[in-house]
Structure 1
Amino acid sequence: MASGYGLNGGPSRCFPFWQEVLACYVVNTSTENDAGKKLCAPHARAMAIQAAYHKAEQANPRDDAPKAGVVRNLGLLGKDEDTKKVLGLK
Protein backbone atom coordinates (compact mmCIF):
# COMPACT_ATOMS: atom_id res chain seq x y z
CA MET A 1 0.00 0.00 0.00
CA ALA A 2 1.18 3.52 -0.68
CA SER A 3 0.82 4.54 2.97
CA GLY A 4 3.59 2.18 3.98
CA TYR A 5 1.34 0.05 6.17
CA GLY A 6 0.56 -3.52 5.21
CA LEU A 7 -2.48 -5.63 5.90
CA ASN A 8 -1.29 -6.52 9.39
CA GLY A 9 -0.49 -2.96 10.46
CA GLY A 10 3.27 -3.11 9.97
CA PRO A 11 5.25 -1.86 7.00
CA SER A 12 4.43 -3.59 3.75
CA ARG A 13 7.09 -5.69 2.07
CA CYS A 14 7.47 -3.27 -0.85
CA PHE A 15 7.50 0.01 1.05
CA PRO A 16 11.24 0.08 1.96
CA PHE A 17 12.12 -0.71 -1.65
CA TRP A 18 9.82 2.04 -2.90
CA GLN A 19 11.39 4.53 -0.48
CA GLU A 20 14.82 3.56 -1.81
CA VAL A 21 13.70 4.11 -5.43
CA LEU A 22 12.25 7.52 -4.57
CA ALA A 23 15.46 8.50 -2.78
CA CYS A 24 17.43 7.49 -5.86
CA TYR A 25 15.20 9.67 -8.05
CA VAL A 26 15.68 12.65 -5.75
CA VAL A 27 19.45 12.29 -5.75
CA ASN A 28 19.97 11.55 -9.46
CA THR A 29 17.42 13.78 -11.21
CA SER A 30 16.58 17.45 -11.43
CA THR A 31 13.98 19.54 -13.24
CA GLU A 32 16.40 20.24 -16.09
CA ASN A 33 18.00 16.82 -16.40
CA ASP A 34 16.15 13.54 -15.92
CA ALA A 35 18.90 11.25 -17.26
CA GLY A 36 19.35 9.78 -13.79
CA LYS A 37 15.99 8.01 -13.93
CA LYS A 38 17.58 5.13 -15.83
CA LEU A 39 19.97 4.55 -12.93
CA CYS A 40 17.04 4.14 -10.55
CA ALA A 41 14.89 1.83 -12.66
CA PRO A 42 14.42 -1.39 -10.67
CA HIS A 43 15.25 -3.68 -13.58
CA ALA A 44 18.38 -1.73 -14.52
CA ARG A 45 19.55 -1.72 -10.91
CA ALA A 46 18.85 -5.43 -10.53
CA MET A 47 20.72 -6.19 -13.75
CA ALA A 48 23.70 -4.11 -12.57
CA ILE A 49 23.78 -5.93 -9.23
CA GLN A 50 23.52 -9.29 -10.97
CA ALA A 51 26.32 -8.39 -13.40
CA ALA A 52 28.56 -7.33 -10.50
CA TYR A 53 27.80 -10.59 -8.69
CA HIS A 54 28.67 -12.68 -11.77
CA LYS A 55 31.85 -10.68 -12.33
CA ALA A 56 32.94 -11.28 -8.74
CA GLU A 57 32.03 -14.95 -9.01
CA GLN A 58 34.13 -15.35 -12.16
CA ALA A 59 37.08 -13.57 -10.52
CA ASN A 60 37.24 -16.23 -7.78
CA PRO A 61 36.98 -19.65 -9.44
CA ARG A 62 36.64 -22.68 -7.26
CA ASP A 63 40.06 -24.03 -6.31
CA ASP A 64 38.95 -27.58 -5.68
CA ALA A 65 36.60 -27.96 -8.64
CA PRO A 66 36.39 -31.59 -9.78
CA LYS A 67 37.64 -32.47 -13.24
CA ALA A 68 35.20 -33.53 -15.96
CA GLY A 69 36.37 -37.14 -15.85
CA VAL A 70 35.76 -37.36 -12.12
CA VAL A 71 32.25 -35.93 -12.46
CA ARG A 72 31.43 -38.44 -15.18
CA ASN A 73 32.43 -41.32 -12.89
CA LEU A 74 30.28 -40.38 -9.91
CA GLY A 75 27.86 -43.07 -8.94
CA LEU A 76 29.04 -45.60 -11.52
CA LEU A 77 30.02 -49.13 -10.59
CA GLY A 78 33.72 -49.67 -10.15
CA LYS A 79 34.47 -45.98 -9.66
CA ASP A 80 34.06 -45.76 -5.90
CA GLU A 81 37.56 -44.32 -5.41
CA ASP A 82 36.80 -41.33 -7.62
CA THR A 83 33.51 -40.73 -5.85
CA LYS A 84 35.19 -40.83 -2.44
CA LYS A 85 37.88 -38.38 -3.59
CA VAL A 86 35.33 -35.85 -4.77
CA LEU A 87 33.14 -36.17 -1.69
CA GLY A 88 36.16 -35.98 0.61
CA LEU A 89 35.50 -39.39 2.14
CA LYS A 90 38.39 -41.59 3.20
Structure 2
Amino acid sequence: MASGYGLNGGPGRCYPFWQEVLGCYVVNSSEGEAGKKKCIPALEDYNECLHHKKEILRAMKMQTALRKAEAAPPRENSPNAEQIRSLGLIGKEEESAAVLAQR
Protein backbone atom coordinates (compact mmCIF):
# COMPACT_ATOMS: atom_id res chain seq x y z
CA MET A 1 0.00 0.00 0.00
CA ALA A 2 1.15 3.53 -0.67
CA SER A 3 0.74 4.55 2.97
CA GLY A 4 3.36 2.06 4.17
CA TYR A 5 0.75 0.07 6.08
CA GLY A 6 -0.23 -3.44 5.12
CA LEU A 7 -3.70 -4.94 4.85
CA ASN A 8 -3.76 -5.92 8.51
CA GLY A 9 -2.50 -2.60 9.86
CA GLY A 10 1.15 -3.53 10.25
CA PRO A 11 3.99 -2.48 7.97
CA GLY A 12 3.51 -3.32 4.33
CA ARG A 13 5.16 -6.30 2.67
CA CYS A 14 7.68 -4.15 0.77
CA TYR A 15 8.18 -1.43 3.37
CA PRO A 16 11.58 -2.77 4.55
CA PHE A 17 12.84 -2.66 0.94
CA TRP A 18 11.60 0.93 0.61
CA GLN A 19 13.42 1.89 3.82
CA GLU A 20 16.58 0.37 2.37
CA VAL A 21 16.19 2.47 -0.80
CA LEU A 22 15.63 5.66 1.19
CA GLY A 23 18.58 4.91 3.44
CA CYS A 24 20.78 4.37 0.41
CA TYR A 25 19.68 7.68 -1.10
CA VAL A 26 20.30 9.53 2.16
CA VAL A 27 23.80 8.09 2.55
CA ASN A 28 24.78 8.68 -1.07
CA SER A 29 22.92 11.95 -1.77
CA SER A 30 26.07 14.08 -1.64
CA GLU A 31 27.62 12.19 -4.57
CA GLY A 32 24.92 13.18 -7.11
CA GLU A 33 24.36 10.78 -10.01
CA ALA A 34 27.15 8.44 -8.90
CA GLY A 35 25.39 8.05 -5.55
CA LYS A 36 22.09 7.21 -7.24
CA LYS A 37 23.79 4.47 -9.26
CA LYS A 38 24.91 2.83 -6.03
CA CYS A 39 21.25 2.48 -5.04
CA ILE A 40 20.13 0.64 -8.20
CA PRO A 41 20.31 -2.86 -6.60
CA ALA A 42 18.17 -1.74 -3.65
CA LEU A 43 15.66 -0.11 -6.01
CA GLU A 44 15.50 -3.28 -8.11
CA ASP A 45 14.78 -5.33 -4.97
CA TYR A 46 11.96 -2.92 -4.04
CA ASN A 47 10.43 -3.08 -7.52
CA GLU A 48 10.64 -6.89 -7.53
CA CYS A 49 8.84 -6.96 -4.18
CA LEU A 50 6.07 -4.77 -5.59
CA HIS A 51 5.59 -6.36 -9.01
CA HIS A 52 7.22 -9.84 -8.92
CA LYS A 53 8.30 -9.50 -12.57
CA LYS A 54 11.44 -11.64 -12.26
CA GLU A 55 9.54 -14.32 -10.38
CA ILE A 56 6.77 -14.38 -13.00
CA LEU A 57 9.30 -14.54 -15.84
CA ARG A 58 11.10 -17.46 -14.15
CA ALA A 59 7.80 -19.33 -13.71
CA MET A 60 6.88 -18.75 -17.36
CA LYS A 61 10.27 -20.09 -18.49
CA MET A 62 9.81 -23.20 -16.34
CA GLN A 63 6.33 -23.79 -17.78
CA THR A 64 7.65 -23.39 -21.31
CA ALA A 65 10.47 -25.87 -20.66
CA LEU A 66 8.01 -28.36 -19.12
CA ARG A 67 5.65 -28.12 -22.11
CA LYS A 68 8.58 -28.54 -24.49
CA ALA A 69 9.79 -31.63 -22.62
CA GLU A 70 6.30 -33.15 -22.58
CA ALA A 71 5.85 -32.54 -26.31
CA ALA A 72 9.25 -34.00 -27.25
CA PRO A 73 9.33 -37.54 -28.57
CA PRO A 74 10.46 -40.16 -26.03
CA ARG A 75 14.12 -41.08 -25.96
CA GLU A 76 15.14 -44.35 -27.58
CA ASN A 77 17.22 -45.77 -24.73
CA SER A 78 15.24 -44.39 -21.82
CA PRO A 79 14.85 -46.72 -18.83
CA ASN A 80 11.42 -48.07 -18.00
CA ALA A 81 9.68 -47.37 -14.70
CA GLU A 82 10.85 -50.60 -13.07
CA GLN A 83 14.50 -49.86 -13.88
CA ILE A 84 14.20 -46.39 -12.46
CA ARG A 85 12.44 -47.62 -9.33
CA SER A 86 15.08 -50.20 -8.52
CA LEU A 87 18.03 -48.24 -9.90
CA GLY A 88 19.21 -51.55 -11.29
CA LEU A 89 20.24 -52.82 -7.84
CA ILE A 90 17.33 -54.91 -6.60
CA GLY A 91 17.16 -58.43 -7.96
CA LYS A 92 20.69 -58.29 -9.38
CA GLU A 93 22.55 -60.10 -6.61
CA GLU A 94 24.31 -62.47 -9.04
CA GLU A 95 25.60 -59.63 -11.19
CA SER A 96 26.70 -57.69 -8.11
CA ALA A 97 28.60 -60.72 -6.80
CA ALA A 98 30.31 -61.18 -10.18
CA VAL A 99 31.40 -57.54 -10.28
CA LEU A 100 32.71 -57.68 -6.70
CA ALA A 101 34.58 -60.91 -7.45
CA GLN A 102 36.50 -59.23 -10.28
CA ARG A 103 38.08 -56.73 -7.88
The bucket for the TM-score relative to the shorter chain is 0.3 to 0.5
Structure number with larger C-alpha Rg: 2
Question: What TM-score, normalized to structure 1?
Answer: 0.44
